[in-house]
A and B are shown apart, each in its own frame.
Chain A
């Protein structure tokens, strides 16, 4: 077999490998999201109320504690579940009771959800209940928005900022 044949064969093999690498390095295109839709992304972590109210320790109980740990109150660590609702144009698209995280159930509850919606004008209402002994929502925020195709609307929650934040 001639050298020329061998070398041209090698060139073809290298070209084929290079083409293979070059193509699959970025093709075929992956459509991870329905074409022409917009997205609403709900994402936050929030600690709901403790399952039991803090109570005052009796003076005997305080006396039993080591001197450096004496304090007037005691609090159970476990939290209740948080209730979250998202209403889109009068239809409830999300309604969940989210359990606290952490082994002792004392961590914040986490919400993370994505919704693909049609672009255009929308009315959104986000609601959250994080307190004990009531069936009312503690927070409710209304938001009107005109979504463009491909837009990502984030729905965040911060209690110290007064509730839900849309951005």
Chain B
């Protein structure tokens, strides 16, 4: 048994009391967004009711309190991902914006015609499209590390593909489809040996796996607070100081300047150089509570719980017989994300039948259309777990899938 007291944890999440048409909600769509504990929800109202003010400029009590609370979260985040400096933590809207920031600011300053950008075959559209646009604008080339039969990165290919032409490697820490946890430390080493930098998409990984940017030695890390108990609207960009310092601003306007004349301006220092305009103050402050919640549980315990439930789910779902499960078979190589197809039933039909049992799963291409083509499927259904999920919930999913197979399985004419 893992060290998480799941029963106790569930009491901290008001939404888990929700009933849908009389049935208890079973929330298995955590890879899309997680639910929020009471402490995070309270932090939002606490801010709006107690010290709502704009930050970094007021000389009044509320402004000081708000600024202190906002900046304290930067330190909480730094500590959580083991960064060296607090100013290496930049608040964005989400992972997508953080990747766009790097592709635009770092990319425009560093990518030249003929340069190569190395991605993997399992990237979310968010870690693909910004690089596609950059490559098109700069006449650079995108190179993809393929995946093996059981959904892991083909590291032998990676060693060949990462070359002296490579300027940046951008790879996900954990696949939102296959669940695969990638060997980022090794990729970082390969990139650095060739003089390239590495950006890690931690949107799926950071919420579930203890992540140290110093141990992994990555140059950029992005993640989204809404997938790790925090509110929507807050993303994190971590970057090494020397890289961030050398990059031009992304968005410009108020807050990010040092001095302004009619015809020119100078930028302020890190991290504010990259935080133009009024920040998402309330949600950043509440994000601090989310990290505190995870830290109190212990990320090692979170991981252990997820390995346990994933192992159980892999074994249970395989009892269906008619099921195809994508990604590594070994629960220790993957996070709590399980993509599957039952018989040849369309993923949306599976989603619908699960929804009728008050079970929330995701169905479709999961913002990974190129990977779907590699897997030769139109889409998949996906169940994804977090700290509050139980084996009983996996059993309910199993029953719903059995029902789907009974009603819709075995289509003759296709």
The finding on whether chains A and B are genuine partners in a shared complex, rather than unrelated, reads no
Chain B contacts to A: CB under 8 angstroms: none
